[in-house]
């Protein structure tokens, strides 16, 4: 069984530079996405690139499938806020044109660009310009010979495709490479990357291709990408969703933050699933809080809890949170109650306090806590516990019943 590795013990790799963004070699795992515009439409493509960058994309890929697209790239590259990768499939001339346009990286699909002399030519040009290439193997476009040899798109077939391409590159002394072996079937994708990780020392680009629309696409992408990242495998990632690509970038960033592989850049809102003790519409309040806080783009973890019986304690690790009880909102920072506000003011108070927390820091906001807040909150908590906390109040009686019921098992 493979060990689960932490961010500090990730699989060692070579490092490449995609523009000014390092990939592999101990660099932070990066997020990628791909534009859906026609690359020849410069303004529309740039608008999408800026939106992707704002959502957390470190690198953006654009298709380069025709001369007009290459011309568009020449106009887009100098204005892009992030490094651009040119996606090339069938015509090596498009790869050469993209290099002329000044892209920071190429992506070549070995299943579509098959002539060795053309592959070596592109690699030579990239080598001379200091531009890396991603070998982008895809189970859906595997070379027919490999498909026949392995009886389908197997992990072995995907890895062999990558290694064949890598060998062509090495024939012209080109090693500035990252590799992907994507598939839409998660177990196939995971096993292919594991095999590849054992075979090469190059950085790996992770993704579950053609995952489909959310939420199923997000689930499939996360299942594959997170599994490998938790094993220390993977240096850059892309969700492949049938959706606005901004969702891909946002999901990638959130995944890396959730795994502790990137520092939090945006809001992380957690909320309880609600229960019979909930004093409010937890789903509604959580949604309102998320919408209000996302507009502020605050890099904090926020908790919305349905009741004050357990809420502040359960969410004590959150930077800030609020719990409802007796038509009031108990506002807490790191589990400590700092304010009690009317229920109707919960979201507004949460946003106000969150902004102050980011501006002033946790210690300052704890020092500014309302002196009577904790005692008022405790009074509310005890009242609710008495009224609705039967599961707590009668737990010892239930324990005694269990002991009587099971004593014959113990005694026997």
Q: In this predicted structure, what is the pLDDT of residue 8?
A: 46
Task: Quote the CA–CA distance of 187 and 240 in Å, as a whole number.
Answer: 16
268-393, superfamily in CATH?
Sulfite Reductase Hemoprotein, domain 1 (3.30.413.10)
Count of CA atoms in the C-beta half-sphere (13 A) of 88: 29
Q: What are the 10-residue block averages of pLDDT along the chain, 412 residues in total?
A: 54 96 96 95 92 91 94 93 93 93 95 90 97 94 90 95 96 97 96 97 96 93 97 97 93 93 80 61 81 82 73 71 79 87 86 90 90 78 62 56 64 54
Which regions of the chain carry the CATH code 3.20.20.20?
7-258
Strands (E), 251-335: 268-271, 301-305, 320-325, 328-333
Q: In this predicted structure, what is the pLDDT of residue 387?
A: 60
Q: In this predicted structure, what is the pLDDT of residue 392?
A: 46
Plot region of 253 (φ>0 → left; ψ -120 to 50 → alpha; else → beta): alpha
Give the residue among 81, 30, 35, 29 at the shortest CA–CA distance from 54. 81
Q: In this predicted structure, what is the pLDDT of residue 75?
A: 94
CATH topology of domain 7-258: TIM Barrel (3.20.20)
Contact 72/94 with Cβ under 8 angstroms? no
Which regions of the chain carry the CATH code 3.30.413.10?
268-393
Tokens 């995609």 correspond to what residue?
18
Give the distance, in angstroms, between the CA of residue 357 and the centroid of all CA atoms in the same chain.
25
Q: In this predicted structure, what is the pLDDT of residue 2?
A: 47
Q: In this predicted structure, what is the pLDDT of residue 21?
A: 96
Task: Quote the CA–CA distance of 247 and 261 in Å, as a whole number.
Answer: 19
Q: In this predicted structure, what is the pLDDT of residue 344?
A: 83
């Amino acid at each position: 069984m493979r060990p689960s590795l932490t961010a500090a013990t990730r699989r060692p790799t070579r490092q490449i530079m995609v523009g000014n963004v390092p990939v592999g070699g101990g660099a932070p795992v990066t997020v990628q996405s791909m534009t859906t515009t026609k690359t020849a439409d410069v303004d529309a493509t740039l608008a999408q690139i800026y939106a992707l960058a704002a959502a957390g994309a470190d690198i953006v890929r654009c298709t380069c499938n025709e001369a007009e697209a290459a011309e568009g790239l020449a106009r887009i590259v100098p204005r892009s806020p992030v490094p651009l990768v040119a996606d090339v499939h069938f015509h090596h001339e498009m790869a050469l044109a993209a290099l002329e346009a000044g892209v920071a990286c190429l992506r070549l699909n070995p299943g579509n660009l098959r002539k060795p002399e053309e592959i070596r030519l592109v690699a030579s040009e990239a080598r001379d310009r200091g531009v890396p290439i991603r070998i982008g193997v895809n189970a859906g476009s595997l070379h027919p010979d490999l498909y026949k040899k392995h009886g389908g798109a197997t992990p072995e077939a995907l890895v062999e495709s990558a290694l064949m391409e890598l060998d062509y590159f090495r024939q012209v002394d080109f090693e500035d490479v990252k590799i992907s072996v994507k598939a839409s079937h998660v177990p196939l994708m995971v096993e292919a990357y594991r095999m590849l990780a054992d075979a090469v020392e190059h950085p790996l680009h992770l993704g579950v291709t053609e995952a489909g629309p959310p939420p199923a696409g997000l689930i499939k992408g996360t299942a594959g990408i997170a599994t490998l990242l938790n094993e220390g495998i993977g240096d850059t990632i892309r969700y492949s969703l049938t959706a606005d690509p901004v969702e891909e970038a946002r999901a990638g960033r959130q995944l890396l933050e959730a795994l502790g592989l990137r520092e939090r850049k945006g809001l992380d809102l957690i909320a309880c699933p609600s229960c019979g003790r909930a004093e409010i519409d937890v789903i509604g309040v959580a949604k309102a809080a998320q919408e209000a806080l996302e507009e502020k783009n605050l890099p904090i973890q926020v908790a919305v809890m349905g009741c004050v019986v357990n809420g502040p304690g359960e969410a004590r690790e959150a930077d800030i949170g609020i719990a409802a009880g007796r038509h009031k909102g108990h506002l807490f920072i790191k589990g400590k109650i700092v304010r009690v506000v009317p229920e109707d003011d919960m979201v507004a108070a949460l946003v106000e306090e969150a902004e102050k927390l980011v501006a002033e820091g946790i210690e300052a906001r704890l020092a500014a806590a309302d002196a009577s807040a904790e005692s008022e909150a405790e009074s509310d908590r005890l009242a609710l516990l008495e009224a609705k906390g039967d599961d707590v109040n009668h737990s010892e009686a239930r324990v005694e019943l269990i002991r009587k019921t099971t004593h014959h098992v113990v005694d026997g």
